A and B are shown apart, each in its own frame.
Chain A
Amino acid sequence: MTTVDFDYVRHYVRDQAAIVLEPGKEYLVESRLQTLARKENIASIDELVRQLRVSPQNGLHRKVVDAMTTNETSFFRDIHPFETLKKSILPELIARNGKERKLAFWCGAASTGQETYSVLMTIAEHFPDLFTWDFKYIATDLSTEVLARAKAGRFTQLEVNRGLPATLLVKNFARQGAEWEIREDLRKRVDFCEMNLVKNWLPLPPLDLVFLRNVLIYFDLESKKTIFAKIRRLLRPGGYLLLGGAETTFGVDDAFERVVFEKTTCYRVKQV
Chain B
Amino acid sequence: MINLDTLIEQANELTPLPATTVRLAQMVGSVDCHLEDMAELIAFDQGLTVKLLRAANSTASASAVPVGTAQEAVFRLGAARVLALTVASGARPFLQTRIPAYGLDEGALWRHSVAAAVAAETAPNFCTVDMPPETFTAALLHDVGKLVMGRFLSPEILDYIRRAQEVDHLGQLAAESLLLNVHHGELGGLVAQHWGLPPRIVQGIIHHHTPDQGLDVICDFTCLANQIAKRIEAGLDGKKFDLTIAPEVMERVGLTSNSLDNFCPIAASRFQQVSRHYNAV
Contacts and interface: CB of A to CB of B under 8 A. Distances in A.
Contact of B189 (A30, A79, A161): A161
B179 A162 contact: no
B179 A161 contact: no
Interface residues of A, number: 22
A79 B212 CA distance: 9
B175 to A, nearest CB: 10
Given A27-B160, A28-B178, A30-B160, A158 B167 contact: no
Contact of B213 (A26, A157, A163): A163
Interface in A60-79: 70, 72, 74, 79
Given A156-B8, A166-B199, A161 B186 contact: yes
Contacts of B157: 31
A158 B8 contact: yes
A38 interface: yes
Query: Which among A28, A74, A79, A158 has the greatest number of chain B C-beta atoms within 10 A?
Result: A158
A97 interface: no
A72 B163 contact: no
B164 A28 contact: yes
Contact of A162 (B8, B167, B186): B186
B160 A157 contact: no
Interface string A189-224: 000000000000000000000000000000000000
B268 interface: no
Interface string A50-93: 00000000000000000000101010000100000000000000
Interface in B170-213: 177-179, 181-182, 186, 189-190, 193, 199, 202, 206, 213
Contacts, number: 48
Nearest to B200: A166
A43 to B, nearest CB: 15
B1 interface: yes
Interface string A146-171: 00000000001110011101100000
Contacts of A74: 213
A117 to B, nearest CB: 17
A24 interface: yes
Nearest to A71: B181
Contacts of A162: 186, 213
Given A35-B1, A158-B190, A27 B164 contact: yes
B202 A161 contact: yes
Query: Which among B157, B160, B177 has the greatest number of chain A C-beta atoms within 10 A?
Result: B160
Contacts of A70: 178
Is chain B's interface secondary structure helix, strand, loop, or mixed overall? helix
Contacts of B164: 27-28
A103 B157 CA distance: 47
B215 interface: yes
A34 interface: yes
Given A157-B193, A158-B8, A166-B199, A31 B186 contact: no
Interface in A5-39: 24-28, 30-31, 34-35, 38
Contacts of B186: 158, 161-162
Contacts of B4: 158
A161 B206 contact: yes
B178 A165 contact: no
A31 B182 CA distance: 14
B167 A25 contact: yes
B47 to A, nearest CB: 32
Contacts of B182: 158
Contacts of A156: 8
Contacts of B190: 157-158, 161
A166 to B, nearest CB: 6
Contacts of B167: 24-25, 27
B209 to A, nearest CB: 14
B276 to A, nearest CB: 36
Given A157-B190, A158-B190, A165 B177 contact: no
A31 B177 contact: no
Given A158-B186, A161-B186, A161-B189, A31 B202 contact: no
A166 B4 CA distance: 23
Query: Which among A28, A35, A161 has the greatest number of chain B C-beta atoms within 10 A?
Result: A161
15 contacts: A24-B168, A27-B159, A27-B160, A28-B179, A31-B179, A34-B156, A70-B178, A74-B213, A157-B190, A158-B4, A158-B8, A161-B190, A163-B213, A165-B215, A166-B199
3 A-B pairs with least C-beta separation: A27-B163, A35-B1, A24-B167
Given A161-B190, A161-B202, 8 more contacts: A27-B167, A28-B164, A28-B179, A31-B1, A31-B160, A35-B1, A72-B181, A166-B199
Interface of A: 24-28, 30-31, 34-35, 38, 70, 72, 74, 79, 156-158, 161-163, 165-166
